[in-house]
Structure 1
Amino acid sequence: MEYRRITSIEDPLFKKMHQLMQDVFPPEEVLEFDLWKEPLEDPGIRVFVAVHEGNVVGATEYRYYEDFNVAMTDFTIIGQAGLGIGRFLAQKRLKDLNSLAEANEKRLFGMFAEIYDPYRVEHYEFGGVKPMDPYVRREVLSHLGYKRLDFPYVHPSWNNDGEAVTGLDLCFLPMDDSLDELKTDLIVKFLRRYYSVLSNKPKSWYEMVENLEAKDSVALLPI
């Protein structure tokens, strides 16, 4: 299996990746094909695919923030069972992020991720791909060391229509497993940076940020 970076919508592998995204994710979570042009060309956004026998069988998008010394996993897609795609992507991603942190003369502090909570939202089928089942993914991410940030999370729709997407948790993977809380200053700065690309965010998102700013820290809880 190959770990290949995509930096252009003209890359034939991107068409395969975008189709895989449409097969797996809910429509409001998939950016239109043409709107990927700028993100793919952004050196700070890292999009990689797992290629097996010429086919895109998995993908992951993530980014590293040098000033925060944290990463964000935008998504991970496992397109087939029985190929070890999840472990392959997780290991390659972490190796890449550790290299970026080392070049920044730091040790990676941790990584954010949004995780569906199937105990609240049960209708996501994720294309019928069993490794992408929300219950399975949640347990896998728990095994990887992710912890849930203890506050009600609101996710702005990537359709940029001002709609709020609920049923997710914002989670964090600390490189120091003994860490049991996260400073809200980091969380707020990260959220503002991450969603700066969306001009039309829901009112509930701004209220969430205001509530976070009123606290010093947020607990990291088991998933």
Structure 2
Amino acid sequence: MEYIRVTSIEDPNFAQMHRLMSSIFPPEEVLAFELWKEPLEDPGIHVYVAVHNDSVVGATEYRYYPDMRVAMTDFTIIGTAGLGIGRFLYIERSRDLERLQKESGTESIGMFAEIYRPHSVSSLKFGNVLPMHPAVRREVLSHIGYRRLDLNYVHPSWDHEGKAVSELDLGFCSAEAAQHSLPSDLIVRFLRQYYSALPNKPKEWEEMIRELEGRDEVELLPL
């Protein structure tokens, strides 16, 4: 299996990845094909595909913010079971994030991830790929070390319609297991930066941000 970076919508691997993504995630979670042009060309956004026998069988996107010393896993896609795709992506992503930390002269305090709540999306099939089922993914992320932040989380929809998507928790995997909370101002700073590409923010998102701005810390709870 090969770990290949995608930096252009003209790359045939991207067309395969986008089809795979569209077959698994709900429509509001998938950026339109043509709108990927700028993100793929952004050196700070890392999109990699897992290629097996010339076919894209998995993918992951992530970022590292040296100024905040946090990473974000945008998504992880496993296209089929039984190939070890999840482990492959996890190991290769970890190696690359270590490289990014070394190059920036920083040490990460942890990684954010948006994590589906299984009871909220029970009607969604997630491509009928069992490893992508929200309950499976949530337990895997818990095993890795993710916990959920104690807030009523919403995010702007990626279809640019400004809808509030509320079926997820905001999770964080701390580099230090003994860490039990995050500073609220770090969360606000991260979310404003992460969603700066989406001009249409729902009022629910703005209300969440204001609520966070009124807090000092946000507790990390079990998934």
| Residue of structure 2 in register with 1:85 after alignment | 85
Distance 1:78 1:8 in 2: 21
Cα drift, residue 158 of structure 1: 0.7
Cα drift, residue 27 of structure 1: 0.8
Q: Does 1:48 align with 2:48?
A: yes
1:11-22 map, 5 Å: 11-22=11-22
Counterpart of 1:143, as a letter, is H
Cα drift, residue 105 of structure 1: 1.4
Q: RMSD of the alignment, in Å?
A: 0.7
Distance 2:200 2:190 in 1: 18
Q: Is the 2:184–2:217 contact (alpha carbons within 8 Å) kept by the matching residues of 1? A: yes
Distance 1:219 1:150 in 2: 5
Q: What is the DSSP-based 3-state SS (H/G/I as helix, E as strand, rest coil) of the residue aligned with 1:119?
A: helix
Q: Does 1:133 align with 2:166?
A: no
Q: Is the 1:60–1:76 contact (alpha carbons within 8 Å) kept by the matching residues of 2? A: yes
| Residue of structure 1 in register with 2:65 after alignment | 65
Counterpart of 2:117, as a letter, is D
Q: What is the DSSP-based 3-state SS (H/G/I as helix, E as strand, rest coil) of the residue aligned with 2:120?
A: coil
Q: Is the 1:69–1:106 contact (alpha carbons within 8 Å) kept by the matching residues of 2? A: yes
Distance 1:51 1:26 in 2: 23
| Residue of structure 1 in register with 2:198 after alignment | 198
Moved over 2 A (4+): none
| Residue of structure 1 in register with 2:2 after alignment | 2
Counterpart of 2:143, as a letter, is H
Q: What is the DSSP-based 3-state SS (H/G/I as helix, E as strand, rest coil) of the residue aligned with 2:91?
A: helix
Distance 1:167 1:22 in 2: 18
Q: What is the DSSP-based 3-state SS (H/G/I as helix, E as strand, rest coil) of the residue aligned with 1:113?
A: strand
Cα drift, residue 203 of structure 1: 0.3
1:97-108 map, 5 Å: 97-108=97-108
Unaligned runs of 5+ in 1: none
Cα drift, residue 123 of structure 1: 1.5
Aligned length: 223
| Residue of structure 1 in register with 2:161 after alignment | 161
Q: Is the 1:124–1:134 contact (alpha carbons within 8 Å) kept by the matching residues of 2? A: no
TM-score, with structure 2 as normaliser:
0.98
| Residue of structure 2 in register with 1:121 after alignment | 121
Q: Is the 2:66–2:106 contact (alpha carbons within 8 Å) kept by the matching residues of 1? A: no
Cα drift, residue 119 of structure 1: 2.2
Distance 2:159 2:104 in 1: 33
CA offsets per residue over residues 31-83 of structure 1, 9 Å max, x none? 11111110000000000000001000000001111111111110000001001
Cα drift, residue 161 of structure 1: 1.1
Distance 1:141 1:121 in 2: 17
Q: Is the 2:118–2:134 contact (alpha carbons within 8 Å) kept by the matching residues of 1? A: yes
Distance 1:125 1:175 in 2: 32
Unaligned runs of 5+ in 2: none
Cα drift, residue 139 of structure 1: 0.2
